[in-house]
């Protein structure tokens, strides 16, 4: 993952203080003579993993949406799974155990699998409010792992997964998928379904998509971002040419691999 420079952003004193609180840094506010040293906070982690399983089996027409406000996301396609399940650890930075526990309880209450007609929505939010010394933005669902039916050529999966602040990994999927992180690396292994749209992307990080060697798609778009960034197609050297054996009708509708800052790679599974 590529890290953005704090020097390139305009941060308020309050924002700098928040960063310093987590990193244990000292800072001097512009125009002030006083130096403020902030004690690093303790990371508290819930003693038990939080696990939930949907109450109904997944049907061929169901879609799945996954969203984690803060923390890594792992999506696993399991051929033996019949429904959707999630497991995660909840963490919070705070000065005291009591504040950390309160923030962890707040985040834990947000973890859910919402089931509606035709859709499963798996989610984790930041704490709804600060709890003493535990700020909302320093709470997280860590290793937010969602297991889903893998999908198949006859019953393809339709899935969207987003990590707002953390890496995202999705493997064992067959069908259509949108895999995105606002801040982190994105890695996916997907077998595209007929007519499927595949998107794997990041706002800030490297992106890798693995597909079968014999995949076909109407269009393939690879978009790296930033100076000296690259589109790596070693496994499919001619994939960006219309004459490529992988570029023909009858397979996926489109495959897009993109990032605003980093390299992109299309490779064989």
Q: What is the mean pLDDT of each run of 10 residues along the chain (269 residues)?
A: 35 41 47 66 95 96 98 98 98 98 98 97 98 97 98 96 98 98 98 97 98 97 97 97 93 98 98
d(CA 65, CA 54): 13
pLDDT at residue number 194: 96
d(CA 256, CA 137): 31
Decide the pairing of beta strands 26-28 and 35-37.
antiparallel
Nearest to 134 by CA among 8, 216, 46: 46
CB 263 within 8 A of CB 208: no
DSSP secondary structure letters along 195-263: T-EEEEEESSS-EEEEE-TT--EEEEEEE-BSTT--EE-TTSTTTTSTTSTT--TTSEEEEEEEESSB-
Widest CA span of the chain, in angstroms?
69
Looking at 79-222, list the stretches that DSSP marks H as alpha helix, in order from N- to C-terminal side.
Answer: 97-110
CB 54 within 8 A of CB 65: no
pTM: 0.86
d(CA 217, CA 248): 6
pLDDT at residue number 36: 62
pLDDT at residue number 34: 62
CB 161 within 8 A of CB 124: no
Q: CA separation (Å) from 67 to 151, 214, 238?
A: 20, 31, 35
pLDDT at residue number 39: 75
pLDDT at residue number 92: 98
pLDDT at residue number 14: 39
């Amino acid at each position: 993952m590529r890290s953005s420079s704090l020097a390139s952003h305009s941060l308020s004193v309050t924002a700098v203080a928040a960063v310093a609180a987590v990193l244990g840094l000292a800072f001097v506010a512009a125009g002030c003579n006083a130096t403020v040293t902030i004690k690093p906070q303790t990371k508290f982690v819930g003693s038990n993993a939080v696990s939930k399983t949907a109450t109904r089996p997944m049907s061929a027409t169901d879609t799945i949406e996954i969203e984690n406000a803060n923390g890594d996301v792992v999506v696993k396609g399991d051929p033996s799974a019949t429904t959707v399940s999630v497991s995660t650890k909840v963490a919070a930075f705070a000065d005291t155990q009591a504040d950390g526990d309160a923030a962890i309880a707040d985040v834990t209450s947000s973890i859910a699998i919402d089931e509606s007609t035709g859709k499963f929505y798996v989610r984790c939010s930041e704490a709804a409010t600060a709890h003493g010394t535990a700020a909302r933005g320093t709470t997280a669902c860590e290793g937010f792992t969602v297991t889903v039916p893998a999908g198949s050529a006859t019953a393809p999966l339709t899935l969207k997964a987003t990590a707002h602040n953390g890496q995202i990994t999705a493997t064992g999927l067959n069908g259509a998928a949108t895999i995105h992180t606002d801040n982190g690396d994105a890695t996916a292994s997907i077998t595209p379904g007929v007519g499927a749209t595949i998107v794997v992307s990041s706002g800030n990080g490297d992106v890798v998509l693995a597909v079968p060697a014999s995949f076909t798609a109407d269009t393939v778009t690879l978009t790296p971002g930033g100076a000296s960034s690259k589109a790596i197609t070693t496994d499919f050297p001619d994939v960006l040419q219309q004459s490529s054996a992988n570029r023909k009708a009858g397979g996926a509708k489109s495959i897009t691999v993109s990032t605003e800052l980093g390299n992109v790679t299309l490779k064989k599974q």
